[in-house]
Structure 1
Amino acid sequence: MRDDRLLTRIAGLLRQAEGTDNEHEAEAFMAAAQRLATASSIDLALARAHDRSTRTATTPITRQVSIGEKGKRGLKTYVQLFVQIARANDLTVDVASNSTFVIAYGFEVDIDTTEALYTSLVIQMVAASDAYLKSGTYKRETARQVVTVGDGYFRRRAVAEKPLSPITARLNFQSGFAERIGARLVRARDEQRAEAVAAETTAAGSTEVALRDKEVEIRDFYRHSSSARGTWRPSSARSGYSVAARQAGDQAGRRARIGADHTLPGARGAIDR
């Protein structure tokens, strides 16, 4: 069941985050958006736990979300950002083998929230990585990369230190950005959950029980609905690892504001980069 009022309220917080030049205010609005989403998710879990009709009418769903066109470089970091946001909003995600789309499993309101946050943050992630590359600071850094050395029977893999290329710098920057965003959203979610449990007015532990039941229901739904095979990884050893680029992305993730897109609710879809 889609909650347009919730998305409208989240959109308002995102616009406030976008409209301030104060990083602390932007952080507060971002956290408020996630906490509002978490509060709504808790309310739904409690309603389903105590009302049979609500439980019957509101069940987990699947939704395919487009990430980008086949052959575009860097789609894995876009997927990584989506997955980080999804985990903070109680979703399980399958990823296409070529990273062109994901399939989200969970409740509709949580999927809507995740798409709204992703729409804003992916644009900021791309813009921040573009600025990082244009600054040229990556040219002074190196990356550790798995390479093949030797010939014939004596060929083996080894880790080599190489100059940091633009594409490796971008991928590491965006990976660091995605991880930091995930940490920020999870912290806001956990704070809201802790407040809800502390303010419990019904039977002891009912909020925790409802959230646990929700987790189990989504897990069971995923188990019966997913046909995915294998494990998705955000990067490979051969793509190169740069501590400096990831730290730069982490810092950009700390500064990121939620609210680059003012047309919420609704997702922008694939980003053509």
Structure 2
Amino acid sequence: MRVPGLVGGVGATLYARWVSSDKMLSRIGGLLRQAESTDNPHEADAFLAAAQRLATSSSIDLAVARSHTAAKERRATPVQRLITIGETGKKGLRTYAQLFIAIAAANDVQCDITANSTVIYAYGFADDIDVCEALYSSLLVQMVRASDAYLREGTYRNETTVRTVVEERGGRRVRTRVRKPVAAVTARLNFQSAFAARIGARLAEAKQEIEREVETSAPGTALVLRGKSLELQDFYRSTSQARGSWRGNRAPSARSADARRAGDRAGRAARLGTAPELPSAPRRLER
């Protein structure tokens, strides 16, 4: 297969890396399948960390190759891609979107999202977005499977949460705060939100580790990655039509400490580590 404009030198190097991107995705997919199939959490952690390290290494390699590509040669540029999270009206899309955004933040992909969380507009280099989609497909299955198992156990039913109840008394509305058992939907949202946060932190940790290693062995890499980041920022500013911020990455209004702890544990078992909250809110798209 011949690609016009890629002739010798660094252009040939970039072409070789471009051709190998499918192989890289296949390797990542294989590691994810191994992570899913093992019952050993330490093995699962190792497989997912290896997948993220491979993704980061490949992304850095491509960034270095792009930085040396002559203007006359075919050069990869950022793209916008629509990621469908779910159909309008489907419940639970907010935590699905949280998961994708957490993965994207660790793989140099910026996101806008519609107010109803049905569609994410991903901005980044095609290979980085491919990696995000591969990771999301695997981790979404794990998140849903783990939350369903947690709900079947039913431990959340032993917990209560404070809710505001509005009643009509003597012709006026009176708000009263009462304790009620945690609902299944509340438990699910809290579980999946904590799971997504833990996933994002672990992937970010793996990315930072490989970037430090590469910078030590190749000191000019930091400058290349900075150039890549600036190119993506310029593309995002010139392309995005989003306004405001998405509220979906905030903690659920009704909280379940038990569900959040369980979701965090499941995030660890799904190959991830310590977790701050998700990064700053993506911008919201009006629909």
Q: TM-score range by the shorter chain?
A: 0.7 to 0.9
Matched with 1:211 is: 225
Separation (CA, whole Å) in 1 of partners of 2:102 and 2:57: 19
Deviation at residue 164 of structure 1 after TM alignment: 0.7
- Cα distance in structure 2, aligned partners of 1:198 and 1:156: 64
Residues 1:82 and 2:100 are matched in the alignment: yes
- Give deviations 1:46-79, integer Å, cap 9, x for gaps: 1112222598520000100111111111100000
The CA deviation at 1:32 is 0.4
Q: How does 1:101-140 map to 2 (within 5 A)?
A: 101-140=119-158
Larger Cα-atom Rg? 2
Alignment-derived partner of residue 244 in structure 1: 258
CA RMSD across the alignment: 2.6
Give, in angstroms, the shift of residue 242 of structure 1: 1.7
1:155-176 Cα offsets, whole Å, 9 max, x none, are 7988764321000100000001
Give the TM-score, by structure 1 length: 0.85
CA separation in 2, counterparts of 1:157 and 1:43?
Answer: 59
Structure 1 counterpart of 2:246: 232
Verify: 1:60 aligned to 2:78, yes or no.
Answer: yes
Which of 163, 176, 179 is matched with 2:197 structurally?
Answer: 179
Q: Distance in 1 between matches of 2:30 and 2:92?
A: 31
Distance apart, 1:16 and its partner CA: 2.3
Residues 190 and 252, structure 2, Cα contact 8 Å, conserved in 1 = no
**Cα offset for 1:11?**
1.5
Are the aligned partners of 1:146 and 1:238 in contact in 2 as well (CA < 8 Å)? no
Aligned length: 254
Tell me which residue corresponds to 1:266.
Answer: none
Q: Is the 8 A contact 2:81 2:121 kept in 1?
A: yes
Q: In the aligned structure 2, how far is the partner of 1:256 from the partner of 1:129?
A: 12
- SS of the aligned residue for 1:57 comes to coil
- SS of 1:180's equivalent in the other structure is helix
The answer to whether the 8 Å contact 1:145/1:241 transfers is no
**C-alpha distance in 1 between matches for 2:72 and 2:176:** 57
Q: Secondary structure at the match of 2:98?
A: helix
Unpaired segments of 5 or more residues in structure 2?
1-17, 273-287
| Alpha-carbon separation, structure 2, partners of 1:220 and 1:147 | 48
The CA distance in 2 between the partners of 1:222 and 1:6, in whole Å, is: 26
Q: Which moved more, 1:19-28 or 1:52-61?
A: 52-61
TM-score (norm 2): 0.81
> What does residue 285 of structure 2 align with?
none
Moved more, 211-220 or 78-87: 211-220
Q: CA deviation at 1:44?
A: 1.0
Distance 1:102 1:144 in 2: 33
